[in-house]
Amino acid sequence: MKKTALLLITASLLLAAGCTSNFEVNEDAVKEVSDKITKTIINSVGEEKVQKTEAMTFDGTGLNKIKIDSSVGDITVKSHESQEIAVNIIITAKSGSKEKAEKLLESYTYTQEKTQYSVDIDTSTDGFDFADGNYIETSMEVYLPSNIENTEIALNVGDIDIDGINGSFDIHSNVGNINIQNGEGFCNLEIDVGDIVLSGFSAAKSSEFSINTGDIELNLTDISNADKIAAETQVGTIDVTMPENSGYQATIEEFMEDKKTLSEGDGKTEISLKTNVGDIEFN
């Protein structure tokens, strides 16, 4: 799956480069192709589908981590007042016929486990079987108490939306967007194709954001507890909005521009922004 998407993106880069002067890559064309790839991956396999929803809760007392592994499907994570970890999983089986989809759904299994310090949920499958036209999609809604301070997600295809969660975020995605809002903490976010958006976020410690094809948008409300913020995209733009009266030293390496360094205040936070193809806005 990963190899297929990357091969298609590589081909789009070559085509875009051939359509512009001086062999400059057409960023908009590449992004458009990438978006089409994402939609095709999610929608083109399986004409019939059947669906069921399963709900589970875990006592979150003494826990500090949620770990999710998934192949296909959107994941939403929100905070709530309860001490329980609540998870709703919407399981959709798609196939060439309804009968096959029902058998696929019946045979599908996933794992969920509560360990000493975490809840681990693994809904991953072998992913896409284009030859047989079958696959499983598992979308999740997760609600966390405030003591869960470590969020770890690995996803092949789908969007990830996180709202009102604090702590560390270790997220890796092949195709899809990552949106984190109204939170505080530090991040290690990595996407092959998709966008990263942080809004109303207070950064701490060290954070890294990396994309092959897609945009990075960081709207930061506080960086006083942040040591380092690094963002890089191979093809795409970076847009960073800093809080007022913040202290930083920023190194900016923008496509077709000279490397530059900006500093403000005590320069406490080290910021590194880099695009191989694309613009950088730093405010």
Residue 255's nearest CA partner among 240, 272, 277 is 277
Buried b (16+ CB within 10 A) or exposed e, 14-47: eebbeeeeeeebbbebbbebbeebbeebbeebbe
Q: Please give the tally of structural domains in the chain.
A: 3
Domain stop point among 96, 126, 150: 150
Same domain, 78 and 114: yes
Q: What is the pLDDT of residues 1-46, one digit of tens each?
A: 444 344 344 434 444 444 433 334 444 554 554 554 555 555 555 4
Domain stop point among 95, 117, 150: 150
pTM: 0.84
Same domain, 66 and 15: no
Q: Residue 43: what pLDDT?
A: 54
Same domain, 181 and 272: yes
Same domain, 115 and 183: no
Q: What is the pLDDT of residues 235-252, one digit of tens each?
A: 999 999 999 989 999 999
Same domain, 170 and 281: yes
Q: What is the pLDDT of residues 123-143, one digit of tens each?
A: 998 644 544 667 899 999 999
Q: What is the pLDDT of residues 146-197, one digit of tens each?
A: 999 999 999 999 999 999 999 999 999 999 999 999 999 999 999 999 999 9
Q: Residue 9: what pLDDT?
A: 46
Same domain, 131 and 233: no
Same domain, 29 and 72: no
Structural domain that includes position 143: 45-150
Same domain, 80 and 146: yes
Q: What is the pLDDT of residues 62-113, one digit of tens each?
A: 999 999 999 999 999 999 999 999 999 999 998 888 998 999 999 999 999 9
Same domain, 163 and 212: yes
